[in-house]
A = this chain, B = another copy of it.
Amino acid sequence: MIEEISNRRTIRKYTDQDVSYELLTKLLEAAAHASTTGNMQLYSVVITKDKEKKAALAPLHFNQQPCIGASAILTFCADNNRFNKWCQQRKAVPGYNNFLSFTSAAIDTLLLAQNFATLAEHEGLGICFLGTTTYNAPQIAEVLNLPKFVVPITTITVGYPAENPEPQDRIPVNGFVHKETYSDYECEDIDRIFNHKESLAVNQKFVEENKKETLAQIFTDIRYTKKDGDYFSKIYFDHIKGQFKF
């Protein structure tokens, strides 16, 4: 399994072959054995396969390639709605309208999502996580009819692979693992950790094409700017607060 997971690749191009609800449901059923806070399973997954519904979601993910060509779009949501309804039907008063309840649900959701991803890839499917879920959560919630106490956390697009990319680079493991306590990074640690990434031809090309001095500037000035981050932070946090009523 170490080898299989070490060689995994995100797949962004898919064939036309359908991925059935039945297969997706079977994989989600197994994935739900991931750990969950107090066995509350504070999540829901919306499987979108209908062409029009997918077309409604695509612009909310900035029309990224995997979203356009996927057989199915799975939106993984933190969900306290179901649990709250159960409490209310059972003479119990749920007090889950706070940040911690959202956090527990978000954790449950992401453990489920990663477990699903592992199972889907083992099954020969190609998957891609869409981080854009946190950017346009209010609009995604509207398209998917999410009620209060339900917040989109991440999205996975699924299809049969139509590309065969190399696995992506990763920083050295001792670049993110700390023994006993956190050892903060010195200048030479940073150089050592990021050196390989900076040396890759594909990254050097990015820097050149965008007329930047460093790869880091590609991130700060183009891909993940402060302006966008601050803007979408407010929208996402307000959405969570609104849905969870805190």
The residues of A with any CB-CB pair to B shorter than 8 Å are: 1-2, 5-8, 10, 21, 24-35, 37-41, 43-50, 53, 77, 79, 81-83, 85-87, 89-96, 98-101, 103-104, 106-107, 110-111, 113-115, 117-119, 122, 128-129, 131, 134-135, 143-147, 150, 153-154, 167-171, 173-182, 184-185, 187, 190-191, 193-194, 213-217, 219-221, 223-227, 229-230, 232-234, 236-237, 246
Contact = CB atoms under 8 A, between A and B. Distances in A.
Contact of A119 (B1, B101, B214): B1
Contact of A216 (B90, B215, B232): B90
19 contacts: A1-B1, A1-B122, A5-B118, A5-B119, A25-B177, A32-B176, A33-B170, A38-B223, A46-B178, A82-B175, A86-B190, A91-B213, A92-B219, A94-B220, A94-B226, A98-B226, A100-B135, A107-B154, A147-B184
B144 A28 contact: no
Closest CB pairs A-B (n = 6): A95-B226, A92-B216, A90-B216, A114-B114, A110-B110, A29-B173
A227 B94 CA distance: 11
Contacts of A246: 233
B89 A190 contact: yes
Nearest to A48: B180
Given A86-B194, A119-B2, A131 B144 contact: no
Given A2-B119, A89-B216, A144-B181, 10 more contacts: A32-B173, A38-B131, A40-B219, A82-B185, A83-B219, A95-B225, A98-B233, A107-B131, A114-B115, A147-B184
Contact of A96 (B10, B21, B177, B229): B229
B45 A177 contact: yes
B86 A216 contact: yes
Report how many copies the assembly holds. Answer: 2
Contacts of A181: 46, 48, 53, 143-145
